[in-house]
Copies of this chain bind each other. A is one copy, B any other.
């Protein structure tokens, strides 16, 4: 009930807190650490934070890299790709402003996935050792981090449900609804947006083949639920899309 009725807690949605901008964020940007308390710490220089831009196609980190930094996405969009070792790989998520990258490497000290920018992106690189140290003086930051990681866990569980229980059409409908939600939360139009990821990347993320993704786009088009032409998406019927996710049940 919850994940469908409250889509902002559903698949890959991330609650973007309406917080004060931190010292590093430019107007129009939000980042994970945008919090007055935390921003103060950043200013005071207690924590090593580096502003960084990442070009389309560039990686923040790759599988096997030693873990030193967490990354707070301030603008643009990333994909994370995880490798199975036999040539197979899968996109495990898309991250945009307000999202955090690298948390899955805290435990193993090594990144288990690639983070690739799909756009001109801006991030803050935050030295993890600094976070560990600073937490004593600034417990809010640790709280923020735990909440973000907990949110990641919940998001991934939604992906697991999508992959484990949904049919192709539902998956795509869910994907579009979630994207729409995320754009809305960031102040962009929820009804009209441009896909930054290719059909291949969508297919990988949704556990299907590129042809099937294409067919499902066409089908949603034919049903009058969306108007999709290549990367340009307009959602025409939210209720219909939501019904589409539910109806294939059982």
Contact = CB atoms under 8 A, between A and B. Distances in A.
Given A1-B85, A104-B157, A149-B153, 5 more contacts: A82-B161, A89-B165, A106-B149, A135-B139, A165-B207
B156 A160 contact: yes
A83 B132 contact: no
A84 B207 contact: no
Interface string A74-89: 0000000011111111
A44 interface: no
Contact of A90 (B148, B161, B204): B161
Interface stretch (A2-10, A179-187, A218-226): A2-10
B250 A207 contact: no
Interface string A130-157: 0010011001001101111111111011
A92 B165 CA distance: 11
Interface string A169-203: 00000000000000000000000000000000000
Q: For the complex formed by this chain, how many copies does it contain in all?
A: 2
A2 to B, nearest CB: 6
A105 interface: yes
B147 A107 contact: yes
A107 B156 contact: no
Contact of A154 (B64, B112, B205): B112
A164 interface: yes
A54 interface: no
Contacts of A85: 1-5
B148 A107 contact: yes
